[in-house]
């Protein structure tokens, strides 16, 4: 049987598990990244340095390499490129049209509305003045966000309720709008109804029109104004009814988007017992959620499943390992110049599955305004998610980052 050939678009640290898994599955892996020093290039059978956001450049590579499938895991920058390859080469996976809909939050909201999937009220603003005018009409607080971006970049809460926090002034509103505009890949900004409540993600594999929900992830964030994710746990600690509500919303959202033969990472909130979809990525989720947490908590190899659907092969969604409680937490020390890191020996705990610290003495520690601002992570497994959370939080508090 001829060896399958898979193109992996992007080869950073989040893509390394996908590249390694595909090789373990006996697949010939071509990894492509614009950065010649991308970590994943060295693990692939062939590494190619190319602008992965250029449809024509990547299409040329795909044809030359005679690929059988393409996957763009844990990222959204080249989703339209992946869709174009699927269209032109007749590959399994989402179309270019679906990729655009799944990466543009305004088009996504329109699809949710047409499909009856629950989501917040959303307005595509025409300008900062238009956004301010619309904000005055909004019932309650709002969120400004780029219509195209990920990783919490450019997102900010704007306040008009005056209940717990001071109302956002016009000057501050304009400043936050400009940040969202600068972070938006298509230079447009959404103003959305603010949903007050806990955050979740729902991990999904779609195959031949069937939406298979693997698990629900609880999220911990910084809260307002930027809502940067500080950690995740699986399985969810919420009630069975709440988990089913989230799953149903995610399934409705995937069907409304019309995507097929792909992994999906849906983000949602719960408010007053109702689920609201924040967005759905037609890809594996980042932050190690899809690549590590899901197999640890369910026993299902989500990465292998996503690789198979990209190659047009039916995925195996049966558990292959004993499910555990799992939690990831991110190190976010006080901003300043990093002088010293101590007590790292606590990371030698047998329940620590994986850890990494991104900085060394002398580095500048930034304020946490997006997922790019975090300083490291630790993943732990335990008998239950509650025990995993307690241990991960203990480790985060006891590893000491000294900044000045």
Q: Which pLDDT belongs to residue 155?
A: 87
pLDDT at 133 over 60: yes
pLDDT band (50, 70, 90) for residue 224: confident
The length of the chain is 404
Could you give the C-alpha distances from 198 to 195, 222, 237, in angstroms and in order? 9, 12, 11
Mean pLDDT of all residues in 165-176: 91
Q: Cis (ω within 30 of 0) for the bond into 225?
A: yes
Q: Which pLDDT belongs to residue 164?
A: 64
pLDDT at 283 over 60: yes
Within 189-263, residue ranges assigned H as helices are: 240-257
Q: Which pLDDT belongs to residue 226?
A: 77
Q: Which long-range contacts (CB under 8 A, 24 or more apart) does 94-100 make?
A: 94/259, 94/260, 94/261, 94/262, 94/282, 98/257, 98/258, 98/259, 98/260, 98/282, 99/282
pLDDT at 316 over 90: yes
Mean pLDDT of all residues in 355-359: 96
Name the average pLDDT for the chain: 95
Tokens encoding 196 = 């007050």
Q: Which pLDDT belongs to residue 301?
A: 98
Query: How far is residue 31's CA from residue 53's CA, in Å, rounded to a whole number?
Result: 14
pLDDT at 151 over 60: no
Q: Which pLDDT belongs to residue 150?
A: 62
pLDDT band (50, 70, 90) for residue 290: very high
pLDDT band (50, 70, 90) for residue 249: very high
Mean pLDDT of all residues in 372-391: 97
Provide the 8-state DSSP code for 293.
Answer: I
Could you give the C-alpha distances from 224 to 84, 182, 229, in angstroms and in order? 37, 20, 11
């Amino acid at each position: 049987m001829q060896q399958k050939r898979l193109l992996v678009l992007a080869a950073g640290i989040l893509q390394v598990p996908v590249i390694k898994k595909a090789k373990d599955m006996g697949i010939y892996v071509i990894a492509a990244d614009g950065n010649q020093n991308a970590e994943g290039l060295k693990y692939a059978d062939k590494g190619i340095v190319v602008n992965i956001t250029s449809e024509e450049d990547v299409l040329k590579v795909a044809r030359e390499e005679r690929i059988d499938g393409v996957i763009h895991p844990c990222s959204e920058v080249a989703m339209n490129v992946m869709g174009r390859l699927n269209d032109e080469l007749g590959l399994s996976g989402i179309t270019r049209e679906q990729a655009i809909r799944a990466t543009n939050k305004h088009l996504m909201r329109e699809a949710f509305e047409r499909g009856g999937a629950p989501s917040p009220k959303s307005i595509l603003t025409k300008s900062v003045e238009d956004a301010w005018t619309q904000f005055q009409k909004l019932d309650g607080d709002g969120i400004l966000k780029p219509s195209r971006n990920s990783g919490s970049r450019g997102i900010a809460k704007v306040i008009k309720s005056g209940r717990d926090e001071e109302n956002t002034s016009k000057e501050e509103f304009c400043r936050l709008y400009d940040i969202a505009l600068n972070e938006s890949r298509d230079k447009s900004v959404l103003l959305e109804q603010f949903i007050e409540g806990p955050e979740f993600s729902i991990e999904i594999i779609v195959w031949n029109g069937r939406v298979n929900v693997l698990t629900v992830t609880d999220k911990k964030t910084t809260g307002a104004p930027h809502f940067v994710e500080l950690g995740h746990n699986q399985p969810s600690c919420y009630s069975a009814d709440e988990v089913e509500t989230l799953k149903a919303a995610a399934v409705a959202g995937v069907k409304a988007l019309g995507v097929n033969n792909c992994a999906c990472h849906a983000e949602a909130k719960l408010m007053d017992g109702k689920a609201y979809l924040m967005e759905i990525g037609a890809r594996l989720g980042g932050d190690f959620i899809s690549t590590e947490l899901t197999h640890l908590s369910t026993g299902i190899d989500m990465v292998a499943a996503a690789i198979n659907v990209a190659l047009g092969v039916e995925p195996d969604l049966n558990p292959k390992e004993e499910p555990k409680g799992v939690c990831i937490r991110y190190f976010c020390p006080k901003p300043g110049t990093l002088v010293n890191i101590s007590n790292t020996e606590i990371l030698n705990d047998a329940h620590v599955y994986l850890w990494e610290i991104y900085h060394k003495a002398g580095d500048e520690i930034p304020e946490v305004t997006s997922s790019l601002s975090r300083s490291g992570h630790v993943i732990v497994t335990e008998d239950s998610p509650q025990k995993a959370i307690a241990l991960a939080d203990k480790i985060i508090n006891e590893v000491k980052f000294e900044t000045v």
